[in-house]
Amino acid sequence: MAEEIIRSNQSGEVTMRIWRGDEEGGEFTEYVMPAQEGEVVLDVIHRVQATAAPDLACRWNCKAGKCGSCSAEINGRPSLMCMTRMDTLPPGETVTVAPMRAFPVIRDLVTDVSYNYEVAKRVPPLSPRPKTADEEEAGGYRMAQIDVERSQEFRKCIECFLCQDVCHVVRDHEENKTAYAGPRFFIRSAELEMHPLDTNDRRQLLQEEQGLGKCNITKCCTEVCPEHIKITDNAIIPLKERVVDAKYDPVAWLGRKIRNRTKLTAAEAAAKAPANGPAAVLPPGGAHGIPQPHPAGSPVLATAPVSSPQAPPPPAPPAADTQA
Amino acid sequence: MTEHENHAYESHEFDVVIIGAGGAGLRAAVEAQAMGLRTAVVCKSLLGKAHTVMAEGGMAAAMGNVYSEDNWKVHFRDTMRGGKLLNNYRMAELHAKEAPDRVRELEAWGALFDRTKDGLILQRDFGGHRYARLAHVGDRTGLELIRTMQQKAVADGMEVFMELKVLRLLHDPDGTVSGLVGYWRPSGGFVVIKAKSVVLATGGVGKSWMYTSNSWESTGDGHAMALWAGADLIDMECVQFHPTGMVWPLSVRGILVTEGVRGDGGVLRNSEGTRFMFDYVPDMFRAETADSEDEADKWYDDHTAGRRPPELLPRDEVARSINSEVKGGRGSPHGGVFLDIATRRSAEDIRRRLPSMYHQFKELAGVDITAEAMEVGPTCHYIMGGVRVDADTTAATVPGLFAAGEVAGGMHGANRLGGNSLSDLLVFGRRAGIGAADFASARSGAVTLDEGQIQDAISAAVAPFEREGGENPYEIQQALQETMQSLVGIIRTGSELEEALVKIEELEERASNVSLTGGTKYNPGWNLTTDLPSMLTVSRCTAMGALNRKESRGGQTRDDFPKADPEMGKVNFVERIADPSSAAAGVGGTPSVRSITSQPEPVPVMPDDLKALLEEAL
């Protein structure tokens, strides 16, 4: 009953222009590979590894758009290699694959994304309210589907960090990384801020430590999100509104009080965050903070205006507590 | 190793080290750290990328939120029957009893499951589960689980060694595990971690097959390292082929299509349009399976109005049936069958309940699943077999070593039910954390590291760089995948298994002669070379177990022994290496696959009260 191994017919050739190098520098190298029907960019990268360059470095895991490992810049656009079909790229043209530009290169297409893991440590975790007597009896919290759906949208995030890569606040300003959480962590904060059980108030933290005000809502992050999360509209803008509310709007503040939301102050929330706990041991090589050598001639995702690091938040829309 | 070689490495020391950062590893780490032990997690990829993230449909737990009739006894019964009674009954019992608490705990840590109308955690139907039992978030439940555990571990200040490949376990002179040796993938630098106890949570082995839902990481490292360290493996022949993987385009062949499609109403049809699963209902499940489309369709809305549809038989049954349809010439154009939800549910429902599937087919295959049927076929998905453990503590048969999740054997018997994996991770991840922490706390005397073991492992790992004109590791991997796919696949026969064993030995020879270029810094060719020893070891165990188990049961189907044999149902086949300290003649300084033995040993005997649950018409 030996199973037949199915082989695909070759359908022409494709030229890949892949950045090779490390933190010392590097260059694009061209590889001409056989092409097959229905392939994605990652398939061709794997073929380069198997036949021409066994040491070509790239990250990948699931190959189905679920783990967010194989992020790169394909023809200048931050994308997942596993979800970019070759037949969606201009036919007959060379395909350029470069590492994400906002992070230091480790080797070839692999970058040091430890910045993101450092930011993650500074997000205070969920602090759920106690269960009610009814919930104790039912054996679990009660939450309406409609109330969990807002946060569920943000929890679709696969941490590919393409939004961080494309965000001009850090893409073009390495120095901003120390005081800017980036779109991925704005949706993390939004998820917690809109979580029906959370009792932390994260607004002061967002404004003062995560640099929410630096975001200029150019929506580049939303454009590249492979999970189609409406990062700007559904997370960042509502967060900006809330931060403004916290500062200027006693009515919204009173509304929350009346509805009996027991929120901690930002200072308390920050104090509950893991305080300089044991740092995750990070792999050596390409340490965060070292100015990154950029692939020469790497196409840049252009068009969006460059955000000023000190840009003020946009004018506050009418104050409204959007909490369900 | 020559006298003058003395490779440098960095050293660390912890009480408990967990290898693997999927659901089981992170749950174990959180527990051990909460007990006050110095704990670290080591993983081959970045944190949050482990294979758990791929789980789609849900987490089985008898919470009774949708059907109040459900309870742990029914879940236990379903699990044992699904496993064709080869399971370690005690593991199935603990799993069924503890899963609901593990789900609720996850919610308190931030997981946001879909809700019932009453606001409780919604549960969905899956194959082999009598009641709707799977807590879920659309079809991305694994992502929710791993992200929640990742965020919990980060909040707890967990030490995580990311992108660190473990080569070998280290042990004291008396054989007690004392740590591990490995290397950082980004830098190539070697690392030794001393530990009082080690938890294996390394997941599965699927990458040794050609069509698999598993990622590059699933190379059976934990299975192999346990065996090399002298631990027993059981049931390695029991490999689950998930009935529904994508089949086209070829580049995505094997990618998982969640069982939730069938749980939510999807049906399987052949090229003639027939719902063929009605023709494949085995006697064991006949009494509880619908015998007409009308009856089956009523069941989705009300489980008392009809019996369950045959599309929701356990996975082994469905995978074999699909295989038969394709072999019988009634397959789809690309060698699968049709999975149809488009004609059964509204487009809006499909997009809401199965968003990842919608997205996956749309973007990778150009198929709109709200309008067209999917083409699907079996894909290598999960290994039921693994490290033989004590059910309560997850202790392996080597002191100081623990195992949880897919790398552990026994819980699922000969076939795992969908949804039982995510709950397994949390139930036994937690128990592994406790078991390893208790062992570490009670361990007395110095934990010693043997410099010879360390240098041997490192020397073997760098040897391919000193060779010229040798083998290409990618070609060996591909040859192994073709061998396992064609000779140790879903349907097996004695002669082909013998042929596979010969080929695996040949591949071991070739893998001992790999030569590499480039350096050790983020070099995937080298990384693969160091994965080959585990892949070859576990493939050998699977082929040996499959040859010895002369019957068909769950994830083991023998064309030459098509029926279950009651006598065979009383034994597990146990793979071990008689003397793990003997000559390191295999690939990369590991024991040779030739030194592995496979022997039948009795399955643990169930007490009468549990046995009675299996007989009851619950």
**Has residue A175 got a pLDDT over 90?**
yes
**Cis omega (within 30 of 0) on the bond before A183?**
no
- For the residues B404-424, what does the mean pLDDT come to? 98
Q: How many CA atoms lie within 13 A of B433 on its CB side?
A: 27
pLDDT value at residue A307: 38
Q: Can you tell me the ipTM of this complex?
A: 0.94
pLDDT by residue (tens digit) across B79-115?
A: 999 999 999 999 999 999 999 999 999 999 999 999 9
Residue of chain B minimizing CA distance to A63: B215
The conformation of residue B616, written as its DSSP 8-state character, comes to: S
pLDDT value at residue A172: 87
pLDDT by residue (tens digit) across A231-263?
A: 999 999 999 999 887 666 656 655 554 454 444
**Has residue B396 got a pLDDT over 90?**
yes
Selected residue of A61, A153, A161, A229 to mutate for chain B interface (largest B Cβ count, 10 A): A61
Residue type (1 letter), A92 = G
**Has residue B528 got a pLDDT over 80?**
yes
- For the residues A120-149, what does the mean pLDDT come to? 94
Selected residue of B46, B98, B212, B476 to mutate for chain A interface (largest A Cβ count, 10 A): B46
Distance, in Å, from the CA atom of A269 to the CA atom of A273, rounded to the nearest integer, reads 7
A198-212, B481-495, B542-556: range with lowest mean pLDDT: A198-212
pLDDT value at residue B339: 97
A201-205, B2-6, B15-19, B442-446: range with lowest mean pLDDT: B2-6
Name the residue with tokens 């967060």: A239
B562 touches chain A (CB under 8 A): no
Going across the sheet that includes B134-135, the strands are B59-60, B134-135, B123-124
- For the residues A219-223, what does the mean pLDDT come to? 98
Q: Reduced to 3 DSSP states, what percent helix, strand and coil does chain B have, rounded to the nearest 5?
A: 40, 20, 40
Shortest alpha-carbon distance between residue A210 and chain B (Å): 17
Q: Give the one of A61, A66, A83 whose C-beta lies nearest to B217's C-beta.
A: A61
pLDDT by residue (tens digit) across B358-368?
A: 999 999 999 99
**Which pTM does this prediction carry?**
0.91
- Continuous segment of H or E residues that includes residue B21: none
The full DSSP string for B217-282 is: T-S-HHHHHHHHTT--EE-TT-EEEEEEEE-SSGGGTT-B--THHHHTT-EEE-TT---GGGGG--
A6 touches chain B (CB under 8 A): yes
Domain ranges of chain B: 241-378, 464-608
Shortest alpha-carbon distance between residue B461 and chain A (Å): 15
Contacts B159 to A, Cβ<8 Å: 278-281
Report the CATH number of the A10-107 domain.
Answer: 3.10.20.30
Shortest alpha-carbon distance between residue B147 and chain A (Å): 8
Confidence band of A3 (pLDDT split at 50, 70, 90):
low
Q: Give the one of A38, A59, A68 whose C-beta lies nearest to B251's C-beta.
A: A38
Confidence band of A284 (pLDDT split at 50, 70, 90):
very low
Contacts A18 to B, Cβ<8 Å: none
A129 touches chain B (CB under 8 A): no
**Has residue B33 got a pLDDT over 50?**
yes
Residue type (1 letter), B161 = F
pLDDT value at residue B532: 97
Given B27, B262, B553, B576, the catalytic residue: B262
**Has residue A276 got a pLDDT over 60?**
no
- Give me chain A's average pLDDT, please: 81
pLDDT by residue (tens digit) across B277-299?
A: 999 999 989 999 999 999 999 99
**Has residue A306 got a pLDDT over 60?**
no
Contact residues, B window 396-455, toward A, CB-based 8 Å cutoff: none
pLDDT value at residue A275: 40
Would the CB atoms of B521 and A22 count as touching at under 8 Å?
yes
Whether A10-107 and A114-272 share one fold: the answer is: no
pLDDT by residue (tens digit) across B45-86?
A: 999 999 999 998 999 999 999 999 999 999 999 999 999 999
pLDDT by residue (tens digit) across A71-118?
A: 999 999 999 999 999 999 999 999 999 999 999 999 999 999 999 999
pLDDT value at residue B584: 65
Q: What percent of chain B has pLDDT over 70?
A: 98
Given B133, B242, B416, B558, the catalytic residue: B242
Instruction: Could you please state the CATH topology (level 3) that the domain comprising B464-608 is classified under.
Output: Methane Monooxygenase Hydroxylase; Chain G, domain 1 (1.20.58)
Domain ranges of chain A: 10-107, 114-272
B27 touches chain A (CB under 8 A): no
Contacts B530 to A, Cβ<8 Å: none
Contacts A43 to B, Cβ<8 Å: 251
Which of these, B414, B500, B488, lies nearest to B238 by C-alpha position?
Answer: B414
pLDDT value at residue B501: 98
Residue of chain A minimizing CA distance to B22: A67
**Has residue A322 got a pLDDT over 60?**
no
Contact residues, A window 225-264, toward B, CB-based 8 Å cutoff: none
A140-154, A309-323, B286-300, B351-365: range with lowest mean pLDDT: A309-323
**Has residue B158 got a pLDDT over 90?**
yes
Shortest alpha-carbon distance between residue A171 and chain B (Å): 22
Inter-chain contacts counted by CB atoms under 8 A, chains A and B:
244
Distance, in Å, from the CA atom of B145 to the CA atom of B59, rounded to the nearest integer, reads 9
Distance, in Å, from the CA atom of B496 to the CA atom of B504, rounded to the nearest integer, reads 12
Crossing angle, helix B524-548 and helix B221-228, to 10 degrees? 70
Residue of chain B minimizing CA distance to A285: B187
**Has residue A45 got a pLDDT over 70?**
yes
pLDDT value at residue A292: 37
- Give me chain B's average pLDDT, please: 95
Contacts A144 to B, Cβ<8 Å: 115, 119
pLDDT value at residue A288: 36
Question: What is the C-alpha radius of gyration for chain A, rounded to an integer number of angstroms?
Answer: 22
Would the CB atoms of A283 and B154 count as touching at under 8 Å?
no
Q: Is A276 left (phi over 0), alpha (psi -120 to 50) or beta?
A: left
Would the CB atoms of B517 and A126 count as touching at under 8 Å?
no
A61 touches chain B (CB under 8 A): yes
The conformation of residue A231, written as its DSSP 8-state character, comes to: I
Contacts B108 to A, Cβ<8 Å: 128, 141
**Has residue A6 got a pLDDT over 80?**
no
pLDDT value at residue A10: 65
Distance, in Å, from the CA atom of B317 to the CA atom of B315, rounded to the nearest integer, reads 5
Shortest alpha-carbon distance between residue B158 and chain A (Å): 7
pLDDT by residue (tens digit) across B224-275?
A: 999 999 999 999 999 999 999 999 888 899 999 999 999 999 999 999 999 9
Residue of chain A minimizing CA distance to B116: A145
Would the CB atoms of A121 and B100 count as touching at under 8 Å?
no
pLDDT value at residue A301: 38
- For the residues B349-378, what does the mean pLDDT come to? 94
Confidence band of B586 (pLDDT split at 50, 70, 90):
confident
Instruction: Could you please state the CATH topology (level 3) that the domain comprising B241-378 is classified under.
Output: Flavocytochrome C3; Chain A, domain 1 (3.90.700)
Q: Give the one of A126, A140, A277 whose C-beta lies nearest to B157's C-beta.
A: A277
- Residue A16 has phi, psi (to 5 degrees) of -105, 135
Q: Give the one of B46, B110, B120 whose C-beta lies nearest to A125's C-beta.
A: B110
Q: How many helices (H) and strands (E) does chain B have?
A: 17, 18
**Has residue B617 got a pLDDT over 60?**
no
Do residues B229 and B46 touch, judged by C-beta distance below 8 A?
A: no
Superfamily of domain A114-272, CATH level 4: Alpha-helical ferredoxin (1.10.1060.10)
Distance, in Å, from the CA atom of B95 to the CA atom of B89, rounded to the nearest integer, reads 10
Shortest alpha-carbon distance between residue B174 and chain A (Å): 31
Would the CB atoms of A61 and B186 count as touching at under 8 Å?
no
Confidence band of A296 (pLDDT split at 50, 70, 90):
very low
Q: How many CB atoms within 10 Å of residue A121?
A: 16
pLDDT by residue (tens digit) across B112-142?
A: 999 999 999 999 999 999 999 999 999 999 9
Tokens standing for residue B481: 């995948």
Q: What percent of chain A has pLDDT over 70?
A: 73
Q: Would residue B242 show up in a list of annotated catalytic residues for this protein?
A: yes
A69 touches chain B (CB under 8 A): yes
Would the CB atoms of B47 and A280 count as touching at under 8 Å?
yes
